[in-house]
Structure 1
Amino acid sequence: MNISLCTISFRHELVSLSDLIQFAARRGFQGIELWGVHARSICHRFDDQVHLLKAQLAQNGLKVSMISDYVDFSAQRTQEDRLAQMDELIAMAEAFQCAKIRIFAGDRGSCGITEEQWYQYVEIFKQLSAYTHEHDKLLLIETHPGTLADCLPSTLRLLHDVKHPAFRVNLDFLHMWESGIHPIEAIRTLKPWVSHVHLKNVRDRQSLSVFEPLNVYAPSGSREGIVPLESGAVQYEEILDWLQREMPGMDGSIEWFGPKPFEQITNELQWIQDQLHIQRNQPLSGVNS
């Protein structure tokens, strides 16, 4: 696997992208998932530094693996407005030589819309995907509550209905587990469309509200229930084993929303590396070691 750190993990830290590149290189990451808020700030306010940051990434053997942002699907927005948002996202992706753009699949859950509204979203995503494809980019929707990709059946239906090669999936294992689907069933079913995965964990189902946007983005929000990958309700040993065997080149990001991001992300990466090393060196069944 190729593991990235998410700059969103440092949303409440006073740290530059240059510092994060140095940190990622020292710790052994392969990439950086650049939050759209950060990418936008760099491209708009420090555009003269983008070439220096790209050079620093290259010198350290790193890449921007994905630009993660949001498109406004509110009723007052037109498709022209959304295409204008995509223009900006594509420009940011091109600035950092990044092929993947992640957005959310709308702004309402799959059970809360009519069939007519569903097909309106399908047409929107067809146009956005075609537009992204024209610029040699992939458009990834994230499996996430409150969107049309809030469960496996709806995500699968959306992929089949949009049916565009640039329309892909960022599979968040925790949120798929939250919907009641086993993560292995999710990745096995969605394998043809998955281009990126998010790795985070929670203590138990009673703690899932910690990831609600109004809480997790707030500087004073609770972080109670956010736990390391190795000790939460989602069994990442099994997930990493499956990915190592079935999709060894997959891009994944550690998405840490808790305190002490430098310390915790270092520990998370080390644990993932240890798990992948163990799995890589396990003898085959029936073969003596």
Structure 2
Amino acid sequence: MGQPQIIISPMNKRSLNSPLQASMCSIGFQREGKWAPSPSVEIPLPEVIRIVAEHGFSGIEIWQPHWECLDTSGRLRALRLLQRHALQVPMLSAYYNFTKSEAHAADSLAKGHQVIAQAAELGAANIRIFTGNHRSADASPEQWQRTRRCLQELCDAAAPLGIGLCLETHDWNLMDTVPGTLRLLELVERPNLGLIFQASTFGPSTWYWALGHLLPWVRHVHAPPKKCGLAGDPHDFRTQLSTLLDHGFSGFVSLEYMGPDPWLAARSDGQWLISCCRQLSAASSATP
């Protein structure tokens, strides 16, 4: 549970030109109160950046409370550390609820504009989007249309800044199934709206089918390790990533760890993921 000293060898140096790169979700270093309205941050973002960099990741997916709680000097320190370690920020991840009610949607819309501004400060490529606590099969036409209007407004606000919105495939959201995900993409119809593909949404027997339908919109991947580790996961991350590369994907896959020991996860599953990304990128580059 402690914080070990990590010595970076030449084997651990990051390749910033690879089409497939590994990042780590900073929420993994928040072990309590992850989803509280105003969480008390356990480890400040500058320290998390240092840990993620020392373990050889190319990027860090930043949990929005990690950034929001920093004062001006803390934010400047975090930005300097990102630059020093050449860490990219592929995603700034916050929470929204467009489906629950008009009032919740209005609050989430305001939050979205705030997060877009924060993403611009960070140089983040995308912001993560959840739609709320209604599954696609249970949502009313009004809920679908309300979500459409809000996401269109946010996409239009983010586009001039070069920022994308990424719907995370997830249960208890409108993106809980392939038909629900495709319906929302079609309703919003914005070029800077894409997906975070999380195979566990669809299960070990159907994730490959789901990926085949969603490939054109995938901008980012989540890799949440189970007890068996990423290497033995039934969602077969190597095949996931190889399939994406074969279809022109270039981007990040984030280690999304939610357990008690993020340092161990970074050393074990993180190193496997980094190695997998490196190997698949090299093989892809070598293919004529």
Structure 1-normalised TM-score?
0.79
Kindly indicate whether the alpha-carbon contact (under 8 Å) linking 2:169 and 2:195 is maintained by their aligned counterparts in 1.
Answer: yes
C-alpha deviations, 1:237-282, integer Å up to 9, x for none?
Answer: 3213223433452211000112211111221122123334554459
What's 1:56 paired with? Answer: 81
Kindly indicate whether the alpha-carbon contact (under 8 Å) linking 2:97 and 2:130 is maintained by their aligned counterparts in 1.
Answer: no
The CA distance in 2 between the partners of 1:250 and 1:30, in whole Å, is 11
Inter-CA distance 134–275: structure 2 relative to 1 (3 Å threshold): closer
C-alpha deviations, 1:33-92, integer Å up to 9, x for none?
Answer: 1101212112xxx22221222111111111222100112323151654333212210221
Give the aligned residue type for 1:268. D
Kindly indicate whether the alpha-carbon contact (under 8 Å) linking 1:34 and 1:68 is maintained by their aligned counterparts in 2.
Answer: yes
CA positional deviation for 1:188: 2.9
Inter-CA distance 130–47: structure 2 relative to 1 (3 Å threshold): same
Secondary structure of 2:220's aligned partner: strand
- Structure 1 residue corresponding to 2:58, chosen from 30, 50, 55: 30
The CA distance in 1 between the partners of 2:139 and 2:283, in whole Å, is 48
Kindly indicate whether the alpha-carbon contact (under 8 Å) linking 2:197 and 2:222 is maintained by their aligned counterparts in 1.
Answer: yes
Secondary structure of 2:137's aligned partner: helix
Structure 2-normalised TM-score?
0.80
Kindly indicate whether the alpha-carbon contact (under 8 Å) linking 1:101 and 1:140 is maintained by their aligned counterparts in 2.
Answer: yes
CA positional deviation for 1:162: 1.1
Kindly indicate whether the alpha-carbon contact (under 8 Å) linking 1:174 and 1:201 is maintained by their aligned counterparts in 2.
Answer: no
Secondary structure of 1:168's aligned partner: strand
Kindly indicate whether the alpha-carbon contact (under 8 Å) linking 1:243 and 1:250 is maintained by their aligned counterparts in 2.
Answer: no
What's 2:31 paired with? Answer: 12
Inter-CA distance 67–192: structure 2 relative to 1 (3 Å threshold): same
What's 2:118 paired with? Answer: 92
Give the aligned residue type for 1:174. S
Higher RCO (CA 8 Å, separation ≥ 6 residues): 2
What's 2:92 paired with? Answer: 67
Secondary structure of 1:110's aligned partner: coil
Inter-CA distance 176–250: structure 2 relative to 1 (3 Å threshold): farther
- Stretches of structure 1 lacking an aligned partner (at least 5 in a row): 203-225
Kindly indicate whether the alpha-carbon contact (under 8 Å) linking 1:6 and 1:253 is maintained by their aligned counterparts in 2.
Answer: yes
The CA distance in 2 between the partners of 1:196 and 1:281, in whole Å, is 20
Q: Does 1:199 align with 2:223?
A: yes
The CA distance in 2 between the partners of 1:80 and 1:167, in whole Å, is 20
Aligned residues: 256
Q: Does 1:238 align with 2:239?
A: yes
List aligned pairs for 1:29-178, cutoff 5 A.
29-42=57-70, 46-73=71-98, 74-77=100-103, 80-177=106-203
Kindly indicate whether the alpha-carbon contact (under 8 Å) linking 1:105 and 1:142 is maintained by their aligned counterparts in 2.
Answer: no
Kindly indicate whether the alpha-carbon contact (under 8 Å) linking 1:244 and 1:276 is maintained by their aligned counterparts in 2.
Answer: no
Q: What RMSD, in angstroms, separates the aligned Cα atoms of the two structures? A: 2.5
The CA distance in 2 between the partners of 1:84 and 1:151, in whole Å, is 27
- Stretches of structure 2 lacking an aligned partner (at least 5 in a row): 1-19, 33-41
The CA distance in 2 between the partners of 1:143 and 1:192, in whole Å, is 14
Secondary structure of 1:111's aligned partner: coil
Kindly indicate whether the alpha-carbon contact (under 8 Å) linking 2:53 and 2:85 is maintained by their aligned counterparts in 1.
Answer: yes
Kindly indicate whether the alpha-carbon contact (under 8 Å) linking 1:34 and 1:67 is maintained by their aligned counterparts in 2.
Answer: yes
Inter-CA distance 248–138: structure 2 relative to 1 (3 Å threshold): closer
Kindly indicate whether the alpha-carbon contact (under 8 Å) linking 1:4 and 1:33 is maintained by their aligned counterparts in 2.
Answer: yes
